[in-house]
């Protein structure tokens, strides 16, 4: 079965009956960080190596606190226009903005050259196997030269000043389009005139990101979860690990070499679908963890979920029990992503 997706502004889909492109508006906050000390500011807040990003390259990173907890996940792009383009979750917008503004003021008081601008842009996600083909008809730039996690500013369906990023929270090829608010409805309407494109809702996006093994902030990661516990160690830049110069480094870095008490794992089962808050038990019936996200997988025809269990139960293939509707059913720890990703690379 072909996984299909099309999103305008934070949506996703991978459903059997739909065409290969889906469109939906995204619930994200967009910020511009500028000034010669912009990288210093961002690296004082996140775990990633922002300094190593090439022009117009982006990376998924994490805001962390001094206890090592994840405050939010975000994408940081080093634009060729001389600023950092930051996309974070709208649900965390107030605390994220306060975090960045406080750091801007702190650095400015030290005489540093840095500033912040909140962008009045909408964000539309177009996702799926034919997403690039659909968009190519409306842009002059060659999208074949735009690989995963890179971006470029271009005119889209006559709307100038759009930043098109080859990414999306679905596991599929696709783009997210940052468009000036005044042009958002025009752009979305133009996309939907193509018969390949269908609107996608949050439920569809949720099944897609879960099949791809991607975390939802507030469910699968939060302020009480470290990147290592959340199986997100890959977001920690090598240079940053060595320097231990990001918030919570004294907690997080030792976890890379030592043991953590729990880890995020994938789970698969048949029968009733696992849902958030479902208890996870060992084979003796003792509760050892909790499901954080779960749903039926349209692609696999099985139920998939993720949750946290003690390290000794985190090996793929481990048999466990999950309590669903007060009944226990078998589940197996599974590697993620559950469905192979289809990100576009130049290889």
DSSP-assigned states of every residue in 243-302: HT-STTHHHHHHHHHS--SEEEEEEEESSSPP-TT-EEE-TTS-EEEEEEEEEEETTTTE
User: Binding residue per annotation — 176?
Assistant: yes
Residue 114: phi and psi, rounded to 5, are -155, 145
User: Which tokens go with 62?
Assistant: 């994490």
User: Which tokens go with 294?
Assistant: 């779960």
Q: Which residues contact 37 (CB under 8 A, 6 or more apart)?
A: 107, 112, 113, 114
- Order of strands across the sheet that contains 21-25: 151-156, 159-165, 174-180, 121-127, 21-25, 197-199
What's the rounded Cα separation, in Å, for the pair 321 and 339? 22
Q: How far is CA 267 from the centre of its chain?
A: 20
Q: Which residue has the tokens 């996690």?
A: 149
Let me know if 334 is exposed, middle or buried by CB neighbors in 10 A (0-12, 13-18, 19+): buried
Q: Residue positions in the annotated binding site?
A: 176
> Which residue ranges are tagged as binding site for substrate?
176
């Amino acid at each position: 079965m072909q996984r299909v997706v099309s999103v305008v502004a934070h949506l996703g889909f991978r459903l059997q009956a739909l065409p290969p492109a889906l469109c939906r508006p995204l619930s994200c906050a967009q910020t511009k960080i500028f000034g010669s000390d912009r990288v210093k500011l961002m690296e004082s807040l996140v775990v990633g190596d922002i300094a190593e990003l090439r022009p117009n390259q982006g990376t998924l990173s994490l805001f962390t606190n001094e206890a090592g907890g994840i405050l939010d996940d975000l994408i940081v792009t080093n634009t060729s226009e001389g600023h950092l383009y930051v996309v974070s979750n709208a649900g965390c917008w107030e605390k994220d903005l306060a975090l960045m503004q406080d750091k801007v003021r702190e650095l400015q008081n030290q005489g540093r050259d840095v500033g912040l601008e909140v962008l009045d842009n909408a964000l539309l996600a177009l996702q799926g196997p034919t997403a690039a083909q659909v968009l190519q008809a409306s842009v002059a730039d060659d999208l074949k030269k735009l690989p995963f996690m890179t971006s470029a500013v271009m005119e889209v369906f006559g709307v100038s000043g759009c930043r098109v990023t080859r990414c999306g929270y679905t596991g599929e090829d696709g783009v997210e389009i940052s468009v000036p608010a005044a042009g958002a409805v025009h752009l979305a309407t133009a996309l939907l005139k193509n018969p390949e494109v269908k609107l996608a809702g949050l439920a569809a996006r949720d099944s897609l990101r879960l099949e791809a093994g991607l975390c939802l902030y507030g469910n699968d990661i939060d302020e009480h979860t470290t990147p290592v516990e959340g199986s997100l160690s890959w977001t920690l830049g090598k240079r940053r690990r060595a320097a231990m110069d990001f918030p919570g480094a004294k907690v997080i870095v030792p976890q890379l070499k030592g043991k953590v008490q729990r880890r995020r794992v994938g789970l698969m089962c048949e029968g009733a679908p696992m849902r958030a808050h479902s208890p996870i038990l060992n084979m003796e019936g003792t509760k050892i963890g909790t499901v954080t996200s779960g749903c039926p997988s349209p692609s696999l025809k099985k139920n998939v979920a993720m949750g946290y269990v003690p390290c000794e139960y985190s090996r793929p293939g481990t048999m466990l029990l999950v309590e669903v509707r007060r009944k226990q059913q078998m589940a197996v720890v599974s590697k993620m992503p559950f469905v192979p990703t289809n990100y576009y690379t130049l290889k």
